[in-house]
Amino acid sequence: MSEILAGLNQQQREAVTATEGFIRVIAGAGSGKTRALAHRFAYLVNEIGIMPGNILCVTFTNKSANEMKQRIRLLTGDNDTGYISTFHSFCVSVLQEDINAVQYPKSFLVLDNSDIDTMLKVIYEERGLTLRHMTFARARDMIEIRKVFKEPEYYEAMIELPLDKLHQKYLDAVETEDIIFYGYLYQEKKCFGLDYNDLIKFVLYIFSVDEKIRRKWQQRLEYIMIDEYQDIDELQYRLMKVLCAWHKNLFIVGDPDQTIYTWRGASVRYLLDFDKEFPNVRTIMMMHNYRSTPQILAAANSLIDKNRQRIKKDLTATLPGGVPVVYHHARTGKEEAEWIAARIKELSGRGVALGDMAILYRAHYVSRTLEEVFLKEDLPYRIYSGVQFFGRMEIKDALSYLRLIVYKDDLSFQRIVNVPKRSIGDRRMRFLQEYAQQNQCSLYEALQRTIENEIFKNTRATRFLALIERWAAGYHNMPISELLSAVLDQSGYEAMLRTEGSQERLDNLAELKQSVYEYETTCGEEATLEHYLSHVALLTNTDAASGSNAVRMMTVHAAKGLEFPYVFICGLEEGVFPSRKTTTLEGMEEERRLAFVAFTRAERGLFLTDAEGRNLDGSYRYPSRFIFNVDRHLLEYTRELDDSLIAETKWKIRGSENSLAALSGVLAFQVGDRVVHSIMGAGMVEEVDRDHACYLIKFDHLDTRRSISFKARLAAETNHG
């Protein structure tokens, strides 16, 4: 046996040595798929003698590509690793060689978001647009949607139209969307720039019009391998299909249970239907998990088994038995965070490094309570792919408003006097700083004293002062939570974020409001604004990330591809995880896949937590359906749930599932069906009102019909007639 095959299990060896034809590897979490890919590349090069430059290996991130290159160099002893890259990086390689086919220079630009924003600024200035017409974030999204979905042939205008004709198309545009879209295409062509969407489109176009170039690349790439195939989108699929058409050697690896990027255009169908699209497909199942204990895998298998859109499979553990998966239902969010902190201290006391523990959550705002408790308990932590809660821009801005109301300090003033924009820019700030220095007063006082000066004409400085003064006069008699809501509303701060389309920042502000509300209920009458600001100052001034030995906190999306000895998944509540934004059955399946990804990050210990209580809007918190999706005997409950809570939660979940089914076009009942209501008795469905998500039912004992929600408990009548 060659060294390359040594140490591989039967399924991995089968994948590595299956070199010819269309091969689909279904690789479960922790089954060693990256290892199999690297060894297959090395097998092709070292054992068969294929030149590395004739192999394309596609990964989904540059980080993955670099890791793959390192692995392959170690296996082959050769620095030549062929084409190991993302789809977009590979397209850049093609265009650097062949973009002359569309009269673009080989020195074309690959545009990033800052480049795009620079182009948008030019367009907005030329055509008198403002952020009220459309924010840059929305404009970028709009451009992408038009390029990918609404006008997929847009690239023909970029390639075929002369620059002056494209410019005229931009000048003739009247609607805001058209102005921005055609202005952007013109700006792109003028500087020979291509964004990410253009890269694949241009390559596909060149391949379609120039057979010689297409054939060159098809013949060059004798073997094509694609990792994370469950995450490919339509354009990537089309490109891959063209490239493999000559040698017909395509090797794909993926796991349909880890499709978590449908919002970016990914479709699990490309993986599930691979054998329908290509001839004589050989499917290899890699189900031996080398990462997690049998207990963790059993819980993960039980969870994902509730999805319908998948290939039926179960991961098999290779590790010896460990400890049960623990579920803790907390009375409050604070108690949930304290329980997690206590478990981490226990593990740390047993010799587990803090860096071997990770806390995963659905969205960044969930970290707030955790951070407060960890700071109080002096537990070091690091937030990945995010900023510590009280260090986030919008949180610091909101707190600066509150601080300015009380203390009128310079730091707070400088931070928020022009946020949102009030035309108090650098020139006017220099004026205030000079006045304050000469008169030994604060910047706020300087503004008060000079407000009538000509320099503040045509600014919103007067309104700003009036707001601060009004709040300063009345804050003693207001709950802090009410004051904060008024500040964020009346200052225009929340409106600014809505205009920018910053939903994550708005979510963080909602969480800040929740934290203030909790602080008030904890402190009672002692909850003064001064006390609260002192409390927060202690949190913001603490160094939370002391060195590398710190607990890691991150979203589940950020944790994809990572693994940790001990994992805590918190915030497992309906409306949090699964997200309240889930509106379809397909979306709920994706949320469950996301939970599956979270479960399978754990190697030795897995802890699931949620908290009851009420949200700021008064709604009640219920445990996530994903807790109930796991067979009861597979979880160790720290306390039994009340029967009433279980019944309420299951009723809420059932209602949610009925609504999702209805919104997805799948209704339990149709017009003419006889149904039985648990209270109203038997009746007939006379109409279905999808707009209001209800059935119009004529019950046998009533003279008029009733509108009954899709969420209601209805059963088919079995004994009628």
Phi, psi (degrees; rounded to nearest 5) at 418: -115, 25
- Check if 642 is active-site: no
Question: Kind and range of the H or E element at 226?
Answer: strand 223-226
Of the residues 188, 195, 228, 511, only one is catalytic, namely 228
- Check if 601 is active-site: yes
Of the residues 135, 236, 258, 293, only one is catalytic, namely 258
Query: CB–CB of 246/215 below 8 Å?
Result: yes
Q: Which burial class, exposed, middle or buried, applies to 392 when counting CB atoms under 10 A from its CB (0-12, 13-18, 19+)?
A: buried
d(CA 18, CA 249): 10
Give Cβ neighbours of residue 505 (< 8 Å, ≥ 6 apart): 392, 393, 394, 497
Of the residues 13, 24, 33, 334, only one is catalytic, namely 33
Of the residues 34, 168, 448, 528, only one is catalytic, namely 34
Of the residues 195, 227, 372, 590, only one is catalytic, namely 227
Tokens of 645: 């809570």
d(CA 313, CA 554): 28
- What is the three-class DSSP state of 225? strand
**DSSP H helices in 526-670:** 529-540, 556-559, 585-599, 625-629, 643-663
Residues forming a β-bridge with 687: 696
Rg of the chain over Cα atoms, rounded to whole angstroms, equals 30
DSSP 45-62: IIII---GGGEEEE-SSH
**Three-point CA angle 361, 365, 366, nearest 5°:** 40
Say which DSSP state 147 is in: I
Distance (Å) of CA 614 to CA 459, 517, 587, 644, 647: 42, 11, 25, 17, 18
Query: CB–CB of 131/176 below 8 Å?
Result: no
- Check if 543 is active-site: no
Phi, psi (degrees; rounded to nearest 5) at 431: -60, -45
47-83 burial string, b = 16+ CB within 10 Å, else e? eeebebebbbbbbbeeebbebbbebbeebbeeeebbb
Query: CB–CB of 224/251 below 8 Å?
Result: yes
Chain position carrying tokens 């399924």: 11
Tokens of 587: 């979306």
Longest CA–CA span in the chain (Å) reads: 95
Tokens of 585: 């059955």
| C-alpha 331, offset from chain centre | 28
- Check if 33 is active-site: yes
Tokens of 212: 């010689």
Of 632, 604, 558, which is closest to residue 61 (Cα–Cα)? 558
Q: Which burial class, exposed, middle or buried, applies to 618 when counting CB atoms under 10 A from its CB (0-12, 13-18, 19+)?
A: exposed
Rounded-to-5 percentages of helix, strand, coil across the chain: 55, 15, 30
Provide the Cα torsion 83, 89, 92, 98; round to 10°. Answer: 30
Phi, psi (degrees; rounded to nearest 5) at 635: -120, 140
Tokens of 636: 């160790």
- Check if 153 is active-site: no
- Check if 219 is active-site: no
Chain position carrying tokens 């821009």: 393
- Residue numbers annotated as active site: 33-34, 227-228, 258, 601
